[in-house]
Amino acid sequence: MNPSPPLPPPTAFIGVPGVVDDFQMSCRFSNFGNHQPEAFDSVTCGACFYFIFMLLDHYRIRYIAEICNDQSGVLICPIEMEYSECNCQNRAHVYNLPQFALNTSKITSFSDLHLDPPLPFQFELIVKDCCSAARYCCHNHNQDDAPCPATWDGWNCFDSAQEGIVPKHCPNYIYGGTSVKMDYDRQAIKSCTKSGWDMPEGIGGIKEHTDYMGCMSKDDAEVRMWLGLVTYILSVLSLLPAIVLLSLLRPIRTQPMFILHRHLLISCFCYGLFYLLTVWFYVRDDAPLSYQVYQNDLLCRLVFSIQLRYLRMTNFSWMLAEGVYLFRLLYTAQHSEGETMKKYIICGWGAPGVMTIAYMAVRGKFDDSAMCWIENSSVPIELFIVVPSVLAISVNVVLLLLIVYVLVKKIRGDPHLEKIQYRKAVRGAFMLIPVFGVQQLLTIYRFNSPWYQNIDQALNGAQGLLVSIIVCYTNRSVLDSLSKWVKGIRETHALGVECRQRMSIQENGKLIIKTPTVAVDHVSL
């Protein structure tokens, strides 16, 4: 969502305060005057929708929108509509939530509003949160002799204040249901002066101002997105040749260990590719399918379920397969190739599929209101994904420790080995960390820190790159097989060149020894 200007209300309503009885409670709406509670509920609820959605570029260029000065709601018309139809007296184009509207006979419910592109699936709940916050502000504001009176600014409630800077937590509804909101606290600020709330001159004249740039800043989100793009692109570019090599090199492609490596690389490749596709088509600014996120579209839910649940779980399942196989290989010094590989493949790809289908079925029934299921569910069904993943990493940690123990024990049992072998064993154990996914333990609990989240994104994105380097590009067996393959190609090429040269020599020799044809008709004896 692009950052919206900090509350620029329509000039048509400025200076038209509601009629207030001095003997009744009134509530203040910045730049819109004081209103009795019922009128305040109605005008602020319409304003909530206006400020959250109608200031976005894709709606602003297609629709006329303004807050009606009769406190009924918000006027919304296609931009090409004539003024005779587009006015606040035509209830067909005045919208509000009926439970907050001053007069329901003058408005149409937001549930009947259809815009292009479509509004978020749960936009009414988002607007209701804002309207409820405004109502609470009205009924719980304090009145004193402070220079800055208690006020609702369109998004947030500010108590009466003394001179200085007044911070306020950014409410979630201002983001319109998008996933752009930050995972850590951000604040809006409002400046109080001796003569009242700060009123700088800007577009539309001199108005009270709240600085929401602290809420709308997407710098950290963009840094994370670019970190993800760079690291996943590097991973995808490194994984594809590695998969091809492990699939084509004959000496290793049927070996059980390299079969597991190949499936782990394919899993990492698919996850990285899906990440790049979802960012390009759904997440980035002006993404062509971003409207599906707002609609909670079925295709969008399926795509993000495949990426964030299924493919993520296959990463963990194949990392677990790597750990189990290597431990069994070192511990028993033998392994059955046919049957066990089939079991590994079924478990590596099938088990995550079963868990993902169960997750989608439960979430579709109990929590289908979230936008494309990008974020975790409010219902505790994320356990379908989290528990198996954490269990896989925990088992791999134990297996890694046991593998190191077995290696050290075998080295100590051979008196002819030097101390350098210990260092090799330790180095080999460290090399197994990305393959086993042990670094994922550092990112299970998500701290509310941009630095931590950036590191988390970089580690996740670079895992495919690290794994491909370890199991392919620096693997002795792969390098030897590749060297033999290249040598074979060169020998074949050299043999072909030699054959062509010999054939050329033979052809040239035939031309040289061929007897020339002599004309004898003029020879006399």
pLDDT digits (tens, 9 = 90+) for 434-477: 888 877 777 665 666 677 778 888 888 999 999 999 999 988 88
Q: Which of 460, 324, 300, 321 is nearest to 374 (CA)?
A: 300
For residues 206 and 234, membership in a common domain is answered with no
Residue 214 DSSP code: H
In terms of domains, do 257 and 140 share one?
no
Q: How many structural domains is the chain composed of? A: 3
> Is 497 a member of any domain?
yes
Regarding whether 331 and 188 lie in a shared domain, the answer is: no
Q: How confident is the model at residue 236 (pLDDT cuts 50, 70, 90)?
A: very high
Residue 16 resides in a domain: no
pLDDT bracket for residue 174 (50, 70, 90)? confident
**Pairing outcome for strands 63-67 and 196-197:** unpaired
pLDDT of 56 reads 84
Cα(163)–Cα(265) distance, rounded to whole angstroms? 61
Alpha-helix residue ranges (DSSP H) falling in 17-72: 37-49, 57-60
- Indicate which CATH number applies to the domain containing 195: 4.10.1240.10
Is 419 domain-assigned? yes
Other Cβ atoms closer than 10 A to 79: 11
Pairing, β 94-96 against β 108-109: parallel
Whether residue 1 lies inside any domain: the answer is no
Whether 264 and 138 share a structural domain: no
For the cut 80, the answer to whether the pLDDT of residue 299 exceeds it is yes
224 and 267 housed in the same domain: yes
Whether 423 and 323 map to the same domain: the answer is yes
Quick one: 207 and 238 in the same domain? no
Q: Residues 111-140: what's their mean pLDDT?
A: 88
Which of 164, 183, 216 is the last residue in one of the domains?
216
- The pTM (predicted TM-score) of the whole model is 0.69
Asked whether residue 85 is assigned to any structural domain, the reply reads yes
Whether 486 and 372 share a structural domain: no
Same domain (yes/no): 109, 138: yes
Tell whether the model's pLDDT for residue 173 goes beyond 70: yes
CATH of the domain at 260: 1.20.1070.10
Could you tell me if residue 371 is inside a domain? Answer: yes
Please give the structure tokens belonging to residue 115: 């815009």
Instruction: Give the domain-ending residue among 194, 216, 238.
Output: 216
Residue 440 lies in a domain: yes
- The mean pLDDT value for 349-374 works out to 86
Domain extent for 284: 219-474
Same domain, 211 and 226: no
Q: Report residue 510's pLDDT band, with 50, 70 and 90 as the boundaries.
A: low
Kindly tell me if the per-residue pLDDT of 20 is higher than 90.
no
Is the pLDDT score of 99 beyond 90? yes
Phi then psi dihedrals of residue 77, to 5 deg: -140, 150
Residues 72 and 112 in one domain: yes
CB atoms within 10 A of CB 332: 8
**Domain endpoint, select from 216, 234, 258:** 216
pLDDT tens for 487-496 read: 888 877 777 7
Q: Is residue 177 part of a domain?
A: yes
202 with 261, same domain: the answer is no
pLDDT at 262: 94
